[in-house]
């Protein structure tokens, strides 16, 4: 057993070192899907909506924010179930025919990571000096210009939201499995492939993909850590 | 037409009025100092004028346009003014970008931004710091960045809230010098608030005394300091001697005699016999001598020195001549005259140096 684990590990490293086409293809797809969903969730939803929520007073604001925070802990499987209900053939969005396509995964991941991103954007804006928006207004900034300068001031916290969301999307398995279907060369991602190959006993491939996923997690956490210290990740390379 | 007209402005925080009913007229080219103790409402007025807050009632006319209500006019008007806060905040960017940001927001062309910003940085003495992260500047430097970024927008009205309140004496001097240069070179209309009475006097051509949300007196610095119309103004500007008196008799058209604690002094006043008054004499108008001399001063009193307090290079001397009378002399004079507590002194001041206000004020 010990020997066969070692053999599997050596084989996994060989797969990565030789840039095995299947390993590369799955990795690339995972990155693409997570990048798509985090881009959509961040730029189209979390950043603009978070900014509006932060800067405007409206009844029920506290409730909205605490709901968003509660949704942080939403299990991926639950989001997968919701996405399935929405996108399956008989669901309200069934006619889009997204079920079992990459679009379904992006849709589901977007649902999954939007609350985290939204919450982090709001708290990042909350953390900036209260005098910043007022100073901008006094200097003649329009409302939109004031938002932009505040986002700029909160850039570290806001980038944290983006990285955190990407990290969650790339490592989730519930959504991809339930609405993507783990179809080879179509919707198979790092996480769903690991689950499948492990259950099939194909430990070399599973391990290779697992190592890549762990490396990705390291990179993401490194980025988060450097953001916490108010440095952009590439600062360390200077 | 006045550049700025403030009419019956009221502001309320929770249940108490922070501004009761403020009226102000600021002409083009005025340098107006709003003086008053901390908490009088100076910041409140400036924030209302810069349209950062909404007043409870009253109107603000900027260049003849009512900017209190109309939302569309607010941004337009705000872009014609600049406001330097008491504790300015800088953005997390370098000094140059901090100063240029207001121009970018006004969509000014890049080349003209560069010229204007460089000029302003030179004016405030920060040209060598243009690339520095503004967050790393000292308090005085931050203040100068705030002044520079306000100036580059060429405001028609510059609002300064306690421009030197948080600065050390050297930075205060530098900042005042910069402000003097601006006043001289640009003829910018300014309203500055300060609790430093002499700063207002040094920089402004007009002053308003704001106490407890009320502007009690508006006038030239000389008028405010020499002829306060109310006791509270006199208390704030600090005249040195404020005595309880009653008009005793009229000597001629302008001259009266006033009873103060059994002593009689002469003053210029048009109050009638028997009226209760406050008698104000500025410390610098009191002269001391060791012997009775013949002077043109109509009021001469004598008594022992009760207290001597050094104030910088001067010494404040209080004698007891039936009422406490305070004056100032240089430390050198103290040494030359051999003054010490208990020394007998003659103190005199002119009738014209006495300012009389009614006690109901």
Range with lowest mean pLDDT among A39-43, B5-9, B164-168, B272-276: B164-168
Q: Is residue A210 part of a domain?
A: no
Of B101, B120, B160, which to mutate for an interface test with A (greatest number of A Cβ within 10 Å)?
Answer: B101
pLDDT of residue A23: 92
Q: Is residue A225 part of a domain?
A: no
What is the mean pLDDT of the segment spanning A90-101?
A: 93
Nearest to B122 by CA among B89, B94, B151: B151
Q: Is residue A105 part of a domain?
A: yes
Range with lowest mean pLDDT among A32-46, A75-89, B164-178: B164-178
Q: Is residue A15 part of a domain?
A: no
- β-pairing, B324-330 vs B314-320, is antiparallel
CB contact under 8 A, A153 and B52: no
| B residues 47..86 contacting A (CB < 8 A) | 50, 52, 75, 78-79, 82-83, 85
| CATH for A185 | 1.10.3720.10
Q: Is residue A1 part of a domain?
A: no
Q: Which residues contact A90 (CB under 8 A, 6 or more apart)?
A: none
Judge whether residue B76 has pLDDT over 80.
Answer: yes
Q: Is residue A168 part of a domain?
A: yes
pLDDT of residue B292: 85
Judge whether residue B108 has pLDDT over 90.
Answer: yes
Domain that holds residue A182: 33-203
Q: Is residue A86 part of a domain?
A: yes
Q: Find the closest chain B residue to A141 by CA distance.
A: B105
CB contact under 8 A, A135 and B79: no
More confident residue, B181 or A107: A107
pLDDT of residue B28: 93
CB contact under 8 A, A138 and B149: no
User: Does B87 reach chain A within 8 Å, measured CB to CB?
Assistant: yes
CB contact under 8 A, A131 and B92: no
Q: What is the pLDDT of residues A168-226, one digit of tens each?
A: 999 999 999 999 999 999 999 999 999 999 999 888 889 999 999 999 999 998 888 88
Q: What is the pLDDT of residues B141-171, one digit of tens each?
A: 999 999 999 999 999 999 999 998 888 888 8
Residues of B in contact with A129 (CB under 8 A): 89
Judge whether residue B198 has pLDDT over 90.
Answer: no
pLDDT of residue B312: 86
Judge whether residue A1 has pLDDT over 80.
Answer: no
CB contact under 8 A, B102 and A140: yes
Judge whether residue A3 has pLDDT over 90.
Answer: no
pLDDT of residue B165: 85
Q: Is residue A87 part of a domain?
A: yes
Q: Which residues contact B337 (CB under 8 A, 6 or more apart)?
A: B288, B290, B329, B343
CB contact under 8 A, B52 and A129: no
Nearest to A80 by CA among A103, A109, A113: A109
Residues of A in contact with B49 (CB under 8 A): none
Q: Name the pLDDT band for A2 (thresholds 50, 70, 90).
A: low
What is the mean pLDDT of the segment spanning B163-187?
A: 87
Percentage, residues of chain A above pLDDT 90: 81
pLDDT of residue B27: 94
What is the mean pLDDT of the segment spanning B228-256?
A: 92
pLDDT of residue B69: 78
Count how many domains chain A has.
1
Q: What is the pLDDT of residues B285-327, one digit of tens each?
A: 999 999 888 777 889 999 999 999 998 889 999 999 999 999 9
């Amino acid at each position: 057993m010990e020997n066969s684990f070692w053999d599997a590990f050596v084989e996994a490293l060989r797969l990565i070192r030789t840039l095995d086409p299947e390993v590369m293809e799955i990795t690339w797809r995972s990155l693409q899907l997570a990048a798509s969903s985090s881009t959509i969730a961040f730029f189209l939803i979390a950043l603009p909506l978070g900014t509006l929520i932060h800067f405007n007073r409206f009844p029920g604001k506290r409730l909205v924010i605490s709901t968003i925070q509660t949704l942080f802990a939403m299990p991926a499987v639950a989001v997968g179930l919701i996405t399935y209900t929405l996108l399956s053939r008989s669901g309200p969005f069934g006619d889009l025919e997204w079920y079992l396509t990459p679009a379904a995964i992006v849709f589901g991941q977007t649902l999954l990571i939007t609350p985290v991103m939204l919450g982090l954007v709001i708290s990042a804006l909350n953390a900036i000096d209260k005098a910043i928006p007022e100073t901008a207004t006094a200097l003649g900034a329009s409302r939109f210009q004031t938002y932009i300068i505040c986002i700029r001031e909160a850039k570290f916290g806001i980038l944290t939201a983006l990285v955190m969301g990407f990290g969650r999307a790339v490592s989730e398995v519930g959504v991809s499995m339930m609405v993507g279907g783990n179809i080879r060369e179509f919707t198979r991602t790092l996480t769903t492939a690991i689950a499948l190959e492990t259950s099939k006993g194909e430990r070399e491939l599973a391990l290779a993909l697992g190592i890549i996923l762990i490396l990705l997690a390291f990179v993401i956490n490194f980025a988060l850590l450097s953001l916490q210290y108010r440095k952009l990740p590439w600062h360390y390379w200077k | 037409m006045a550049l700025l007209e403030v009419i019956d402005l009221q502001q309320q925080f929770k249940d108490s009025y922070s501004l009761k009913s403020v009226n102000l007229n600021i002409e083009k080219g005025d340098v107006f100092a709003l003086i008053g103790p901390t908490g009088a409402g100076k910041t409140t007025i400036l924030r209302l004028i810069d349209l950062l807050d909404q007043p409870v009632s009253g109107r603000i006319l900027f260049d003849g346009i009512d900017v209190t209500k109309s939302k569309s006019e607010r941004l337009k008007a705000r872009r014609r003014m600049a406001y330097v806060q008491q504790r300015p905040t800088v953005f997390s960017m370098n000094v140059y970008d901090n100063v240029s940001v207001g121009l970018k927001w006004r969509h000014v062309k890049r080349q003209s931004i560069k010229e204007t910003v460089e000029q302003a940085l030179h004016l405030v003495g920060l040209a060598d710091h243009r690339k520095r992260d503004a967050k790393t500047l000292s308090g005085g430097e931050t203040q100068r960045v705030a002044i520079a970024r306000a100036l580059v927008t060429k405001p028609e009205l510059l609002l300064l809230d306690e421009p030197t309140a948080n600065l050390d004496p050297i930075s205060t001097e530098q900042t005042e010098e910069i402000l003097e240069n601006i006043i001289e070179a640009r003829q910018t209309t300014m309203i500055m608030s300060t609790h430093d009475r002499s700063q207002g006097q040094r920089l402004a051509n007009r002053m308003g005394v704001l106490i407890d949300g009320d502007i009690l007196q508006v006038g030239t610095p000389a008028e405010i300091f020499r002829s306060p119309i109310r006791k509270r103004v006199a208390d704030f500007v600090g005249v040195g001697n404020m005595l309880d008196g009653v008009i005793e008799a009229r000597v001629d058209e302008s001259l009266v005699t006033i009873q103060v604690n059994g002593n009689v002094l002469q003053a210029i006043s048009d109050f009638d016999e028997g009226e209760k008054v406050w008698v104000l004499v500025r410390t610098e108008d009191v002269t001391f001598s060791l012997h009775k001399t013949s002077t043109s001063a109509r009021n001469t009193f004598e008594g022992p020195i009760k207290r001597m307090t050094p104030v910088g290079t001067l010494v404040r001397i209080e004698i007891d001549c039936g009422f406490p009378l305070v004056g100032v002399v240089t430390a050198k004079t103290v040494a030359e005259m051999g003054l010490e507590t208990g020394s007998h002194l003659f103190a005199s001041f002119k009738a014209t140096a006495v300012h009389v206000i009614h006690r109901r004020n």
